[in-house]
């Protein structure tokens, strides 16, 4: 947006601006916003704040955000105040085994799983949220160890081939003598 000026005549009636301005972004162009200034008036004096109020708390900086077991997201500030920002809902399914895996950690509902039923964490039938905790490993340790042993054997075989090649090259050099 650009700076602008609203002008009123001596009786307080609106003189300008035009009631349209354009908005453009990287993805959308040509949007026009119509603003209705028709009800705006001004007295023949300089602008001044007539009223201001404060909630009694001093200014505070954001210290952190926390998530409770029931999904409540709270922001805490350096002035000691805390504000609830929202709540995380959790989903439950008739059959969790019927969910279809999408990638490593995403799941999609299917006809076998049934539709998602949303609810509050901690309510009957829904689990709790453990913010800040780590999930169990999603790696199959047996498969990874078998792959590691196979890679080690391949490395040993390649090292033996290089050693044999070096010994043969040395023997050929000694024969030519």
Cα 168 to the chain's mean position, in Å? 60
Mean pLDDT of 148-152: 96
Which pLDDT does position 106 carry in this prediction?
87
The per-residue pLDDT for range 76-134, each reduced to its tens digit, is 999 888 999 999 889 999 998 999 999 888 889 999 999 999 988 888 888 888 887 77
Q: Please state, in angstroms and as integers, the Cα–Cα distance from residue 17 to each residue in 4, 20, 42, 80, following that order.
A: 8, 8, 14, 44
Token pair in block for residue 30: 């040509």
**pLDDT in the model for residue 6:** 74
Give residue 1's pLDDT. Answer: 46
| pLDDT given at position 59 | 82
Mean pLDDT score, 152-169: 94
């Amino acid at each position: 947006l650009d700076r602008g000026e609203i002008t009123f005549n001596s009786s307080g009636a609106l003189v300008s601006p035009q009631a349209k301005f354009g908005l453009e972004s990287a993805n959308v162009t040509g949007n026009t916003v119509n603003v209705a200034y028709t009800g705006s008036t001004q007295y023949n004096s300089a602008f001044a704040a007539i009223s201001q109020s404060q909630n009694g708390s001093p200014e505070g900086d954001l210290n952190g955000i926390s998530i409770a077991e029931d999904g409540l997201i709270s922001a805490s500030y350096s002035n000691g105040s805390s504000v609830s920002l929202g709540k995380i809902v959790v989903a439950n399914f008739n059959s969790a085994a019927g969910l279809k895996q999408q990638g490593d950690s995403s799941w999609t509902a299917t006809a076998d799983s049934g539709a998602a039923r949303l609810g509050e964490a901690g309510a009957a039938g829904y689990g709790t949220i453990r913010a800040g905790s780590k999930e169990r490993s999603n790696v199959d340790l047996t498969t990874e160890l078998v792959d590691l042993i196979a890679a080690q054997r391949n490395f040993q075989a390649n090292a033996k081939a290089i050693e044999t090649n070096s010994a043969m090259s040395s023997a050929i050099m000694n024969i030519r003598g």
